[in-house]
């Protein structure tokens, strides 16, 4: 899989910056309405769609973290760099001071912490299995 060492959460980050800086659109701009059974409709805006995309990509990032490989370390490092960059942009850039961007930063934080946690847990299990095999065969 070629996307192992590529942080997928960079996609909503880039899309956010394209919308904010190139298109100068508001993230509260409605994209479409979803009719509900309660005879009402829910308006879905640009920020909502970015957050939904980021949550789906976070799921894929968590799946990637369960793989044991040398590329996983680079993936964690790139995810950390992305999180730090997003945090700095949130603090320093006026266009990034929105609730949508704050949620994207929080998802990047979950990606970093979750990736490290899952990698440590799977590495501990791998070591325990190897030690058990050595005791049984020896």
pLDDT at 122: 72
Domain around 109: 10-137
Q: What is the mean pLDDT of residues 65-77?
A: 75
pLDDT in tens, 33-58: 999 999 899 999 999 999 999 999 99
| Joined tokens for residue 52 | 């939904």
- Mean of all residue pLDDT scores within the chain: 85
Are 65 and 123 a contacting pair, CB within 8 Å? Answer: no
| Joined tokens for residue 115 | 């990736």
Identify whether 27 is part of a domain.
Answer: yes
* Beta-bridge partner residues of 34: 42
Exposure class string for 96-131: b at 16+ Cβ within 10 A, else e: bebebbebbbebbebbbeebeebbeeeeeeeeeeee
Identify whether 115 is part of a domain.
Answer: yes
For the chain, the domain total comes to 1
Identify whether 108 is part of a domain.
Answer: yes
Identify whether 104 is part of a domain.
Answer: yes
Q: Please name the residues in contact with 52: beta carbons below 8 A apart, sequence gap of 6 or more.
A: none
Q: Is the pLDDT of residue 127 over 70?
A: no
Identify whether 49 is part of a domain.
Answer: yes
More confident residue, 95 or 137: 95
Identify whether 5 is part of a domain.
Answer: no
Question: The whole model's pTM is what?
Answer: 0.81
Identify whether 88 is part of a domain.
Answer: yes
Identify whether 56 is part of a domain.
Answer: yes
| Joined tokens for residue 107 | 């998802």
Q: How confident is the model at residue 1 (pLDDT cuts 50, 70, 90)?
A: very low
């Amino acid at each position: 899989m070629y996307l192992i060492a590529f942080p997928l959460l960079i996609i909503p980050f880039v899309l956010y910056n394209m919308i904010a800086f190139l298109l100068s659109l508001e993230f509260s701009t409605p994209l479409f309405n979803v009719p509900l059974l309660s005879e009402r409709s829910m308006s879905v805006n640009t920020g909502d769609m970015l957050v939904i995309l980021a949550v789906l990509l976070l799921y894929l990032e968590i799946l990637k973290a369960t793989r044991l490989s040398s590329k996983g370390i680079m993936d964690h490092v790139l995810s950390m760099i992305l999180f730090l960059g997003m945090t700095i942009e949130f603090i320093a850039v006026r266009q990034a001071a929105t609730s949508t961007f704050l949620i994207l930063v929080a998802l990047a934080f979950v990606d970093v912490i979750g990736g490290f946690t899952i990698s440590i847990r799977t590495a501990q299990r791998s070591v325990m299995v190897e030690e058990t095999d050595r005791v049984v065969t020896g």
